[in-house]
Homo-oligomer: A and B are copies of this chain.
């Protein structure tokens, strides 16, 4: 057989296996797999450099299916590479199988979960960035995209950043099969519309017939030899290619074929050939020089914003740990990531105002073992919430910081105030949610974040607040601090409200009420033990948070006691009306979360509790 004949045979095998796996699953996306089979066959046979026995090999290329629904094709590629057996292929979509409906990293060759469209390419930018600037290994990132998902703005963030950084190690392959889930895409088979846009964004673009093996070969050749810029291969394909019954027909998205046996026959029958995929040359990741960890230390009583402490500590952690990388969304002078940028410039990446790309880059960087810290205003993490959700499915280890939380930012008004971030991040699987109140605790927690698995979020405060703790105090994740002891009522605060709680405790003490004040710096996981002890001692709790009432500190505290025999009464102080502009003090007062409102609520609660006893 000629090389092209071998490629064709391989492509047909990938098609057959896509049809077979969906057939046994009775669901899945075979037609979306058939369109891209030729593209993947040539890639696997000639261009991919991958050690399937050693997926952790740092020199491996990366193959990311941004169109994650084409998972039958991806798994068929793995089978053709000898990585999975025919038997396992046919467990597709079964309970307990590693071959899920959309790819996840429960398979060792899958870098990240995809299936929420528009994410694979921005994540690929992150992986390619790691290759270029951190690992400094010439691996390539191959990203198979659907044409429908090009409508996602996040794809254009990726196009923009990849060109700006000059990621010639990245190749995007757009499988232009014309048909989305419910009908034709905006641009159908107008390849120019994709190529022109990509070129305007600074990419090299190659338009090909995605079923012409020679054209595919030449396009990959061009992609691998183009320097200074990424390449996109815009491939005209036919959805369902190879199975006449479904070729280019609407109504066949996400469905197993009606007549799988006939389709397999039409495709030339079952084959079980294994491709000897080329392995990469050995290479080791670049190692950055580091020193010892010298966290910032602030004097008790000194005024420092936790966001400033984040920046100071991040720079310190970065200088001590060569795997730490920082990203920021064009607000580094507000989040104080700029301190890292100044002190560790080789590992700092400006992501401009593109929060989705920033989150995706973080996910891509951690694919290669780097420890990304990404920051913006906490309010603007809402922009990347789908990426955070998917990062959890990717089992990604990323560290996110959100500054300028709550009404206490003052004059800028509600668009800049995060008031839903605690709820949003608590509701992410395996997340950690931190909310320090002073500089020293913030610094210690930044150090903890570096080695914490999963999605770790730190909420920081705009205003400077007095340092409460000595620099040598420890702040384990999952802990809390009793900053004031008391027996009559417990006040639970964090961040800006802890300082209001302390003022309230002073006012209460003057009225003979002894308030216990807890610094809930770890909102998730939460310190159940300390809260239970407080509830037992005081019988009632006031929670106070610069956040909407739902899903934040109050509900986290309520959940602790839900099943307990003794369940304290909990009064929740939170932001309940839409704030406007004003000074931080005016806005804290208007929201009913300042010292005066805390003291009032505590007094009422103590009276009511006493009356009821």
Give A262 Cβ to nearest chain B Cβ, in Å. 23
Would A102 and B197 be within 8 Å (CB), given that A153-B357, A385-B385 are in contact? no
B420 touches A393 (CB 8 A): no
Task: Please report the C-alpha to C-alpha distance between residue A74 and residue B358 in the assembled complex, in whole angstroms.
Answer: 30
Scan A533-577; emit 1 where CB is below 8 A from any B CB, else 0.
000000000000001111110111011001111010111100000
A93 at the interface (CB under 8 A from B): yes
Closest residue of chain B to A149, judged by CB?
B353
| Complex: A93 Cα to B571 Cα, angstroms | 32
Pick the contact of A555: B99, B380, B551 (CB < 8 A). Answer: B551
A550 contacts B426, C-beta separation under 8 Å = yes
**A559 CA to B561 CA, complexed, in Å:** 12
Shortest A330–chain B CB gap in Å is 5
Q: Are A352 and B148 in contact (CB under 8 A)?
A: yes
A104 at interface, CB cutoff 8 A: yes
Asked whether B424 lies within 8 Å of A426 as measured between CB atoms, the reply is no
Decide if A343 is an interface residue (CB 8 Å cutoff): no
Contact of A157 among B151, B333, B549 (CB under 8 A): B151
Q: Does A415 contact B (CB under 8 A)?
A: yes
Nearest CB to that of A333 among chain B residues? B182
B563 touches A555 (CB 8 A): no
Looking at the complex, which of A53-61, A217-225, A483-491, A582-590 is the stretch in contact with chain B? Answer: A582-590
Does A424 lie within 8 Å of B420, measured CB to CB? yes
Assuming the contacts A353-B151, A390-B415, asked whether A562 and B570 have C-beta atoms less than 8 A apart, the reply is yes
Which residue in chain B gives the minimum CB-CB distance to A423? B427
A389 sits at the interface (CB 8 A): yes
A412: which of B115, B117, B352 is its contact (CB, 8 Å)? B115
Is residue A413 contacting chain B, with contact meaning CB distance below 8 A?
A: yes
Contact partner of A153 (CB less than 8 A), chosen from B156, B426, B580, is B156
Cα of A27 to Cα of B413 in the assembled complex, Å: 12
Of all chain B residues, the one with the shortest Cβ separation from A548 is: B427
**Are B153 and A356 touching (Cβ within 8 A)?**
yes
A562 touches B551 (CB 8 A): no
Decide yes or no whether A416 CB sits under 8 A from chain B.
yes
- Assuming the contacts A153-B153, A331-B181, A424-B420, asked whether A97 and B580 have C-beta atoms less than 8 A apart, the reply is yes
> Is A129 at the interface (CB under 8 A from chain B)?
no
Q: Which of A60-118 contact B (CB under 8 A)?
A: 68, 93-97, 99-102, 104, 106, 113-118
Nearest B residue to A118, CB-CB:
B353
* Given A153-B356, A382-B386, A555 and B559 contact (CB-CB distance below 8 Å): yes
Q: Across the interface, do A586 and B118 meet the contact criterion of CB distance under 8 Å?
A: no
Whether A288 sits at the interface, judged by CB under 8 Å, is no
Interface residues of A in 182-202 (CB under 8 A from B): 182-183, 185-186, 196-197, 199-201
Q: Quick one: closest B residue to A605, CB to CB?
A: B563
Bound: A354/B200 CA distance, A: 21
Interface flag for A612 (CB, 8 Å): yes
Do residues B353 and A612 form an inter-chain contact, with CB atoms below 8 A? no
B180 touches A353 (CB 8 A): yes
Instruction: Render A460-502 as a binary contact track against B, CB cut-off 8 A, 1 for contact.
Output: 0000000000000000000000000000000000000000000
CA gap between A416 and B429 in the complex, in Å: 15
Q: Does A524 belong to the interface (CB within 8 Å)?
A: yes
Q: Report Cα–Cα, A10/B548, bound state, in Å.
A: 42
**Most central of A106, A153, A428 by chain B CB within 10 Å:** A153
Among B153, B160, B551, B552, the residue within 8 A (CB) of A154 is: B153
Given A153-B157, A427-B423, A551-B550, the answer on whether A113 and B331 have CB atoms closer than 8 Å is no
Contact digits for A351-381, partner B, Cβ 8 Å, 1 yes 0 no: 0111111000000000000000000000110
In the complex, how many angstroms separate the beta carbon of A567 from the nearest chain B beta carbon? 5
Shortest CB distance A405–B (Å)? 13
Q: In the complex, A99 Cα to B580 Cα: how many Å? A: 9
A529 to chain B, nearest CB (A): 19
How far is B418's CA from A352's CA once the two chains are assembled, in angstroms?
29
Which residues of A, 146-163, contact B by the 8 Å Cβ criterion?
Answer: 148-149, 151-157, 160
With A354-B153, A571-B563 as given contacts, are A551 and B548 in contact (CB-CB < 8 Å)? no
Query: Is A227 an interface residue when CB atoms closer than 8 A count as contact?
Result: no
Closest 7 CB pairs of A and B: A153-B153, A115-B415, A95-B582, A551-B551, A423-B427, A200-B200, A156-B156
A interface residues (Cβ-Cβ under 8 A, vs B):
25, 27-28, 68, 93-97, 99-102, 104, 106, 113-118, 148-149, 151-157, 160, 164, 180-183, 185-186, 196-197, 199-201, 330-334, 338, 350, 352-357, 379-380, 382-383, 385-386, 389-390, 392-393, 395, 411-416, 419-420, 423-424, 426-430, 524, 547-552, 554-556, 558-559, 562-565, 567, 569-572, 578, 580-583, 586-587, 590, 612
For the complex with contacts A116-B379, A420-B427, 19 further pairs of A-B residues with Cβ separation under 8 Å are: A93-B411, A94-B582, A102-B412, A104-B413, A104-B415, A115-B412, A151-B157, A152-B153, A153-B157, A153-B354, A182-B333, A383-B386, A427-B552, A550-B559, A551-B551, A554-B562, A555-B558, A558-B559, A562-B569
